[in-house]
Structure 1
Amino acid sequence: MRQFILTGLVTVIMTLTYGQDLKNEDKELIKTEIQRMLKSDQKYRSLLSYGTLRQETADSIKSLSNDEQMKFMMSNKKKLAKNISDSLWTMQNNLDLENIIALEKIVTKYGWPSDNRLGDKISAEVLLFHTPTKKIESMETLLLKEVKEKRMDPNQFGMFVDNMRLKHGKSQLYGTNIEFSRELMKEMPPTVDDIETTNKARREIGLEILKEGEYRTKK
């Protein structure tokens, strides 16, 4: 009985400690690290996306709306030489792996660094979009725990999972991402395999179900 009480007490203490508000010094440390990672996340990616080696040109395009950027990228015929492109991608992929490993350590130690917990607009979720394939499974497991502990927005988690599925040629599970039609040149509702499976998965993480007109299914 005594052992049971002690075990329960330790569990409660650990839960309270892990779930408590972050200390100010921890917040600043985390924000500084995430800002560094966000900068390296785009170090070569913007140049590759816009087919230019001029940072000024890339910055100018990034100032456009998302829709205008997408249309530019779809119509832009400029491409970097293959040897240059391959070299930039190798360097960017290495940075992506370093970033996700660093983010994984932050989440493991402090929990998901949401804007609300940090008290500032940081958008750490942006880093998840470029998770290397070999880290997807471990990050999904880690972040699902954060959703259940109410430290991570379930929609952000759903977007991470759906983005990774789209990246590997699969339909979305949660239906959180608006898709862009190359044929129609406009945004379209998300595509899912089966709406019942999708809505069941959405309920499990605390999202409202998708209604008719809010999704598409493969024919």
Structure 2
Amino acid sequence: MHTVNIFKNIIPIIIAATAFYGCSRKHTSKTNVAISEITFKQDSLAFELCKMYGFDQGIRDSKLTFNKKELMPKVDSISFANLVNFVTKNGYPTETLLGKRNIKQECVESAAVAILLHNPHRLVNEKVYFDLFLKEVKKGNIDSNFFASVLDKYYWINSPNKKKRKVFYGSEFGKPCIQTKEATNKARIEIGLLPLKEEEFIDCGQEELNMPKKQIAY
């Protein structure tokens, strides 16, 4: 009950932060200018993404002093559900979907990126979401290297060795262990990346690894 009350009290703050972080739209003084149906749809989708970005970033505002550790996972879960709904209906945000003008706005371009990086566990642990976003990778809407980074963030966060964190795919989060070479390269191929060469791995010795134990199925 205490958590619910805190969450209710913080909603107005998050909404205010959302308004701050969400992108603002400049309106022309000529209110009678006709807007094409395509432009209207693109602007509507862009605004939807801006609201998501504002919600995602608002909870992370350094000026907020409440217990973020308790509430942030709940906010991230809501943001992820909103993104899944958006992608299911419209596809992953791209310039083709949103228009060149809209995609240049930070809140539009960064919404999906931020939400995915804040929810890597949903893709790793829930196949339905992995498959949903993998389809977008195969369509060319999501860069394979970025997708690998999202997935690797999960392994990086949950690495048993907190001093020298380990990854599985190989990404900006680090190099994978040679001990997982076969599984890693199969997983990389699955998401559209080239397999890594021997020298692109690191030797993790007998270290405990929190990595997939099953072979990737094709």
Write the letter of the residue equivalent to 2:201: Y
**Aligned partners of 1:115, 1:34: CA distance in 2, in Å?**
13
Identity of aligned residues (%): 30
Equivalent residue number for residue 176 of structure 1: 171
Q: Partner of 1:45: helix, strand, or coil?
A: coil
1:27 aligns with 2:42: yes
Write the letter of the residue equivalent to 1:202: R
TM-score (norm 1): 0.58
| Structure 2 counterparts to residues 157-168 of structure 1, below 5 A | 157-168=147-158
Equivalent residue number for residue 213 of structure 2: none
Q: Deviations over 1:64-95 (max 9, x none)?
A: xxxxxxxxxxxxxxxxxxxx66x222332222
CA 1:196–1:112: 2 relative to 1, 3 Å:
same
Q: Deviations over 1:116-152 (max 9, x none)?
A: 6433141321211111746751321211122223322
Contact kept, 8 Å, 1:165 with 1:172, in 2: the verdict is yes
Equivalent residue number for residue 92 of structure 2: 112
Contact kept, 8 Å, 1:154 with 1:206, in 2: the verdict is yes
Unaligned 5+ segments in structure 2 are 1-36, 161-165, 206-218
Write the letter of the residue equivalent to 2:118: H
- Which residue, out of 119, 125, 131, partners 2:113? 125
Write the letter of the residue equivalent to 1:31: A
**Larger strand share, 1 or 2:** 1
Q: Partner of 1:173: helix, strand, or coil?
A: coil
Give RMSD over aligned pairs. 2.8
Equivalent residue number for residue 190 of structure 1: 175
Q: Partner of 2:93: helix, strand, or coil?
A: coil
Shift of 1:99: 0.6
- Which residue, out of 77, 80, 86, partners 1:97? 77
TM-score (norm 2): 0.58
Contact kept, 8 Å, 2:120 with 2:151, in 1: the verdict is no
**Aligned partners of 2:197, 2:38: CA distance in 1, in Å?**
41
- Which residue, out of 19, 40, 45, partners 2:55? 40
CA 1:46–1:195: 2 relative to 1, 3 Å:
farther
Shift of 1:205: 2.2
